[in-house]
């Protein structure tokens, strides 16, 4: 074996070591090690164990990924990554690059857990306690208990550019059960299933009608996008949780991003 020379030692000194993946969701994946080092990005045509781990983290953080984690990059994975990049303040490219992976390392929950470890919204809007924060551009709904502790994060779909969901402070005006929700769908859209399993009618905090509702959906593949007529859609299993947790009069904060100045100081956990 040839002994190292001064030249080879100097060369080694200027070659930076690849950043280590420390999060237990991602550590040990050679695919993600290559991403973290900047050697590659994961986009169209990518598949593998690292991408599967990233998909699992995005699902656990409440980002929409229709069909679940399968280790293959497709349009749903691209949309989930774009929504996460909005949350993390990154360029919304929809591909997994080193910056996006670093943000996931910092924010993803432990294996087997849901939510995220820090950078959560405050349960206060303009000084008033809220039960829900809806982040329009990252397509997530944050549910808090009456004491202000995070319960869960759910994916949502919101209004199109032509029929936007309007930000501001709203309140639950009425709660519709399954029968009333189906009746409303039949009356308004000639489709008993269009509003899914439950509907929460929202008004502005001053009592004026907002024309917006939180409800379920008959099109879960569209969650994570801007597709509605202004309402906030959720998966049917999620709207059941929200319907049961909320009461008439509870406040709902609707913001474009979690950097909205009306929100209180972000909550960090862990």
Catalytic residue numbers, as ranges: 215, 231
Q: Taking every pair of C-alpha atoms in the chain, what is the biggest distance, in angstroms?
A: 83
**Rounded distance between C-alpha atoms, residue 26 and residue 97, angstroms:** 14
| Residue 30 CA: distances (Å) to CA of 26, 99, 148, 166, 174 | 9, 17, 40, 43, 51
Q: Are the CB atoms for 140 and 153 separated by under 8 Å?
A: yes
For the beta sheet containing 232-233, the strands, ordered from the edge strand earlier in sequence to the opposite edge, are 150-155, 140-144, 132-135, 251-255, 168-176, 199-204, 209-215, 232-233
């Amino acid at each position: 074996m040839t002994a190292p020379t001064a030249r080879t030692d100097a060369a080694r000194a200027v070659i930076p070591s690849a950043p280590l993946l420390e999060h237990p969701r991602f550590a040990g994946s050679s695919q993600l090690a290559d991403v973290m080092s900047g050697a590659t990005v994961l986009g169209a045509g990518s598949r593998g164990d690292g991408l599967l781990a990233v998909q699992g983290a995005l699902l656990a953080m409440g980002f929409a990924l229709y069909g679940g984690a399968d280790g293959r990059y497709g349009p749903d994975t691209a949309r989930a990554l774009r929504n996460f990049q909005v949350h993390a303040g990154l360029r919304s490219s929809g591909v997994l690059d080193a910056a996006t992976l670093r943000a996931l390392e910092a924010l993803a929950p432990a294996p087997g857990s849901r939510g995220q470890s820090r950078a959560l919204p405050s349960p206060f809007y303009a000084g008033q306690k809220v039960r829900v924060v809806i982040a329009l551009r990252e397509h997530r709904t944050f549910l808090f208990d009456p004491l202000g502790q995070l319960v869960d994060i759910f994916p949502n779909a919101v209004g199109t550019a032509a029929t936007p969901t309007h930000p501001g402070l709203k309140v639950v005006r009425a709660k519709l059960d399954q029968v009333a929700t189906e009746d409303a769908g039949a009356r308004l859209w000639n489709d008993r299933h269009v509003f899914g399993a439950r509907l929460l009618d929202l008004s502005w905090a001053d009592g004026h009608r907002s024309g917006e509702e939180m409800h379920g959906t008959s099109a879960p593949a569209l969650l994570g996008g801007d597709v509605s007529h202004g309402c906030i859609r959720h998966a049917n299993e999620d709207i059941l949780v929200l319907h049961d947790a909320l009461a008439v009069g509870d406040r709902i904060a609707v913001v474009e991003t979690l950097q909205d100045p009306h929100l209180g100081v972000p909550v960090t956990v862990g």
